[in-house]
């Protein structure tokens, strides 16, 4: 697996002006009629519609916090007339509203988009099903109808043509510059140890407090820990989960400050996520389990290394914002939301602190097409690569995204991104693997890599 080093260089250039009028859309929070608290689902629907309808230089989705603030002066429930009033106050061309009702196992959802100036209902969507399976495809089709019938935007497949080496600077900013693809003095990769299972994740940390780092591997439903002895790795723990477990990501960090690093395992379940936290103490034991979020540790400017989490839809993909979390009394407690670009998820980004402003950060991430994107502290895109980077085999499946009942989409877990001062010059480089795909990433369901 090859490693490539990148360095950050930002140059301020004049912003380009755009002549065409940008259409504005206000998406109102859906009314939720259910016994359970479905606030996370309401937020997810907002984010899903915003992501699918936004169109650079053509369609702007008004920030949800701005919409919510305007709704504070409107008495519920929100009907067509009140929605139009909100749209006019926000200067929107269109406004979207809807509701979701859960009664027993039956779930119904309806949505509509209104023309603010004319007061007309342009498109409606309705679905009734057992369970939440019908929600995602209905939202997806609703967004596609809006794009095609109102915005004049037809879906286009991603391009996979050969790309030049440099990236594409966004008007107004400078590029992320490639430094080198090989490290001076780096040894050729060699096999240290073979395993009888497919490795889906790896991290290192001092698990037993002896001052030496151990290696932690995960497979589909197992956690394996290894110690270094001379030039090899010796297995000392093999923890097997349930046959239904699906481990996709592992992070190792001592966040509770007891000198022994915890192992944070993201585990998929039919209900969304059922992650766990392990710690060594007379053998490995779970100190938290059944966590309904995907977990990861990360260095966050101004906070140090913290635990992050994000919800996942039942049999679906990432859902809602990324939050900082805290271990407390055997439970994982949600804390502050991290304001990230819409293309970010809990696994695909790192935060690079802004010089002389330690509380601000650039966001560097691998998008769904595995191209690098760089966002400034205000989450404005300033650079993107033309090349593919990363390349991993672990994935999350999302079912029912299309009208075809058997359709399944795979969201491959991005390769880790590291910020490391490799050249010891005081500037940290972005380190990310670059695996070469035998399918050139043309297929969304299957992949394999020949080299890297």
For 3-17, how does the pLDDT look when each residue is reduced to its tens digit (9 = 90+)?
444 443 333 333 333
Structure confidence at residue 5 (pLDDT): 44
> What is the percent of the chain with per-residue pLDDT over 90, rounded to a whole number?
37
Q: What is the dihedral of CA 152, 158, 162, 168, to 10 degrees?
A: 70
Confidence of residue 376 (pLDDT cuts 50, 70, 90): very high
Instruction: Give the mean pLDDT of 179-198.
Output: 62
Tokens 């429930």 belong to residue: 77
More confident position, 169 or 103: 103
Cβ proximity of 208 and 280 under 8 Å: yes
Distance CA 29, CA 14 (A): 36
pLDDT at position 354 over 80? yes
| Residue from 413, 321, 323, 408 nearest 366 by CA | 413
- Bridge partners (DSSP) listed for residue 282: none
Distance CA 71, CA 83 (A): 9
Confidence of residue 402 (pLDDT cuts 50, 70, 90): very low
Superfamily of domain 197-338: YVTN repeat-like/Quinoprotein amine dehydrogenase (2.130.10.10)
Confidence of residue 18 (pLDDT cuts 50, 70, 90): very low
More confident position, 433 or 392: 433
Residues 6+ apart with CB under 8 A from 3: 181, 183, 431, 432, 433, 434
Averaged pLDDT score across all residues of the chain: 80
Q: What one-character DSSP code corresponds to residue 81? A: H
Q: What one-character DSSP code corresponds to residue 55? A: B
Instruction: Give the mean pLDDT of 181-203.
Output: 69
Tokens 């490639």 belong to residue: 178
Structure confidence at residue 204 (pLDDT): 93
> What is the percent of the chain with per-residue pLDDT over 70, rounded to a whole number?
80
Confidence of residue 40 (pLDDT cuts 50, 70, 90): confident
| Residue from 387, 360, 357, 359 nearest 376 by CA | 360
3-state secondary structure of 89: helix
23-151: which CATH architecture? Answer: 3-Layer(aba) Sandwich (3.40)
Structure confidence at residue 347 (pLDDT): 93
More confident position, 352 or 408: 352
Structure confidence at residue 163 (pLDDT): 37
320: number of Cβ within 10 Å? 21
Structure confidence at residue 105 (pLDDT): 75
pLDDT at position 183 over 60? no
Instruction: Give the mean pLDDT of 81-109.
Output: 91
**In the chain, domain spans:** 23-151, 197-338, 343-451
Tokens 């001062």 belong to residue: 421
pLDDT at position 162 over 70? no
pTM of the shown model: 0.61
Distance CA 291, CA 97 (A): 32
Distance CA 280, CA 260 (A): 7
Helix (H) or strand (E) holding 65: helix 64-71
């Amino acid at each position: 697996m090859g490693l490539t080093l990148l360095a950050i260089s930002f140059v301020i250039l004049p912003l380009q002006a755009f002549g065409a009028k940008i259409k504005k859309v206000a998406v109102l929070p859906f009314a939720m009629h259910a016994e359970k608290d479905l606030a996370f689902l309401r937020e997810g629907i907002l984010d899903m519609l915003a992501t699918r309808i936004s169109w650079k230089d053509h369609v702007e989705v008004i920030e949800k916090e701005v919409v919510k603030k305007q709704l504070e002066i409107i008495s519920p429930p929100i009907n067509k007339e009140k929605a139009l009033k909100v749209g006019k106050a926000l200067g929107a061309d269109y406004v979207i509203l809807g509701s979701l009702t859960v009664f027993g196992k039956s779930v119904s959802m309806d949505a509509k988009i209104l023309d603010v100036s004319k007061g007309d209902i342009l498109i409606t969507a309705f679905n009734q099903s057992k369970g939440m399976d019908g929600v995602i495809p209905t939202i997806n089709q609703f967004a596609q109808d809006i794009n095609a019938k109102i915005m004049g935007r037809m879906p286009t497949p991603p391009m996979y043509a050969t790309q030049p080496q440099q990236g594409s600077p966004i008007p107004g900013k400078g590029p992320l510059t490639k430094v080198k693809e090989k490290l001076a003095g780096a040894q050729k990769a060699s096999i240290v140890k073979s395993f009888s299972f497919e490795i889906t994740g790896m991290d290192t940390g001092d698990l037993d407090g002896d001052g030496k780092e151990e290696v932690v591997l995960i497979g589909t439903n197992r956690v394996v820990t290894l110690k270094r002895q001379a030039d090899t790795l010796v297995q000392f723990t093999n923890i097997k989960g349930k046959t239904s477990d699906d481990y996709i990501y592992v992070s190792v960090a001592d966040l509770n400050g007891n000198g022994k690093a915890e192992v944070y395992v993201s585990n998929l379940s039919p209900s969304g996520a059922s992650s766990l936290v392990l710690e060594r103490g007379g053998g490995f034991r779970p100190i938290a389990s059944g966590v309904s979020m995907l977990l990861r540790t990360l260095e966050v400017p101004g906070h140090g290394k913290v635990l992050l989490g994000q919800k996942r839809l039942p049999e679906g993909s990432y859902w809602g914002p990324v939050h900082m979390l805290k271990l407390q009394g055997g439970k994982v407690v949600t804390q502050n939301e991290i304001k990230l670009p819409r293309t970010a998820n809990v696994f695909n980004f790192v935060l690079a602190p802004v010089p002389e402003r330690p509380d601000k950060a650039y966001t560097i991430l691998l998008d769904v097409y595995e191209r690098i994107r760089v966002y400034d502290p205000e989450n404005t895109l300033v650079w993107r690569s033309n090349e593919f980077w990363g390349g991993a085999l672990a994935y999350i499946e999302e079912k029912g995204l299309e009208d075809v009942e058997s359709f399944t989409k795979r969201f491959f877990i991005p390769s880790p991104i590291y910020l490391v001062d490799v050249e010891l010059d005081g500037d940290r480089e972005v380190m990310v693997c670059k695996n070469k795909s035998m399918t050139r990433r043309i297929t969304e369901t299957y992949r394999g890599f020949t080299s890297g």
